[in-house]
Amino acid sequence: MKTLFGCLFALLLTGCSGNRVVEYGNSASEPDDFPVLRAVGYGVIDIQPGPSQAEKMLQAIRASKMDAYRELAEQLNGQQVSGRSSYKDLTQTANTLDVSVAGMVRGARVVASYPRGNTYATELELDTRNLYHLNQLMAGQF
């Protein structure tokens, strides 16, 4: 179980903030720098399912929060990109690009959630110091 949490923590800390890779090795001393990762998610209100405007607003709030978590997962775990193009007689017949994100986000907090025109926005932040300390607790080094 410790190995699983250690691997998960290592994946979480290899994220980037502002194109800067965060990496914490197995050193006994605490790192000097703990970046705070930030993400913003959006949800369009009018396209949400629901019989009333209030219900559409609630759905947009949920959608914006999930979008923000997806963005944080991208920063922590990266994206898997797969593309394919098909050609016949030297002419492109199909072109596909699939992008997926998978990972766990722990310790993030909602900083702000607000409407912006026909869109709802949610801002999240994740302090990597909390992730470091969580790993230390799980490894019994705290």
The enclosing H or E element of 62 equals helix 53-77
Q: What is the pLDDT of residues 5-50, one digit of tens each?
A: 444 344 444 443 343 444 444 555 777 889 999 999 999 999 999 9
Task: With both helix axes pointing from N to C terminus, report the angle between 53-77 and 2-12 in degrees, rounded to the nearest 10.
Answer: 100
Q: Which H, E and C letters describe 77-112, residue by residue?
A: HCCEEEEEEEEECCEEEEEEEEEECCCCCCCCEEEE
Q: In terms of pLDDT, which residue wins out, 134 or 115?
A: 115
Q: What is the pLDDT of residues 65-109, one digit of tens each?
A: 999 999 999 998 899 999 999 999 989 999 999 999 998 888 899
User: In this structure, what token pair is assigned to residue 48?
Assistant: 């949400």
Residue 102 DSSP SS3: coil
pTM of the model: 0.69
User: CA Rg, the chain, in Å?
Assistant: 19
Interatomic CA distance for residues 40 and 98, integer angstroms: 22
Task: Give domain limits for the chain.
Answer: 2-22+35-139
**pLDDT number for residue 106:** 81
**pLDDT number for residue 81:** 92
Where residue 12 falls (left for φ over 0; alpha for ψ -120 to 50; beta otherwise) is alpha
Give me the count of residues in the chain: 142
Beta bridge partners of 92: 87
- Cα 101 to Cα 27, 74, 84, 121, 140: the distances in Å are 29, 6, 18, 20, 31
User: In this structure, what token pair is assigned to residue 57?
Assistant: 């607003």
